[in-house]
Amino acid sequence: MNAVPHPALDTDHDDLPTLTLVLPPGLGQDDILSGLAAAIAQVRRDVAARIRRFQQRMHKCAAVGDELGLALCRGQVLGGEHAAAAIDEAIVAVFDLWRQYEAQLSAAVGATPYSAPPETQHPAEPVRADCPVQCLRGVLSASAFIPLSRACMASFEPPRAVGDVLRLHQQEKLSEIRGLGPRRIGEIELCLILAGLISEQPIGRRNGGCEAR
């Protein structure tokens, strides 16, 4: 049994950047919508505070060797992060605020804001190596997809296809991308595993013990 958690389960990071999204003209003048927006913003703040509390508990559990408590707290942190990301990305999708969202997340990792128009998400069938990289938008969090699709501060050009992402993973170059730490690289790796492009191997190999098929 592997006692070392997969990098995608790493919770020792700040995954909730502060976002200021401007709704389309006219919506801000509607009292109901304004109240709803304020309620959503409060929910996001509450989720962020809950995440911080459980992160603190994780450190306490780790200090005393409480593995069960550590696992339970990690689950709460991961669940909270996914909930906050779902809130952000749902608002962005409904009001078509991708340009604002991507510009702010790009700024958070020191990248040049992306100027290309948003692409449609991949349909239900599995992602393939010859799919454009935009197909990963539907299966990766924005915090992983945006730096990946920009190749922020990396020595190589942004990947154009999923196969390019696979090649960068094989060459262990994903870590060159600013904004992609071990957890986000682990998220990309899990996506490639689920797509059947790489397979898990016995512990001892690098990059989570996976190799290309």
Instruction: Tell me the angle at which helices 182-194 and 142-150 cross, rounded to the nearest 10 degrees.
Output: 90
**Rounded mean pLDDT, 157-164:** 93
CB 176 within 8 A of CB 139: no
pLDDT digits (tens, 9 = 90+) for 106-146: 665 555 554 444 444 445 467 889 999 988 887 888 778 88
What is the per-residue pLDDT for 87?
78
Q: Three-state SS for 68?
A: helix
The residue whose two tokens read 């919508």 is: 33
Please give the backbone phi and psi of residue 120, each rounded to the nearest 5 degrees, phi first: -70, 155
What is the Cα–Cα distance from 85 to 141, expressed in whole angstroms?
Answer: 7
Top-confidence range, 13-27, 47-61, 100-114, 197-211? 47-61
What's the CA gap between 42 and 85, in Å, rounded?
Answer: 14
Residue 41's pLDDT is: 81
The pLDDT value recorded for residue 202 is 37
User: Of the ranges 3-17, 27-41, 124-138, 164-178, which one carries the lowest mean pLDDT score?
Assistant: 3-17
pLDDT, mean of residues 187-195: 89
pLDDT given at position 205: 43
**How many C-beta neighbours within 10 Å does residue 82 have?**
13
Give the pLDDT confidence score for residue 125 in this predicted structure.
Answer: 62
Paired tokens of 71: 């696992």
CB atoms within 10 A of CB 177: 27
Its pTM stands at 0.53
- Name the packing angle between helices 182-194 and 162-170 (round to 10°): 120
Q: Mean pLDDT over all residues of the chain? A: 75
Structure confidence at residue 68 as a pLDDT band (50, 70, 90): very high
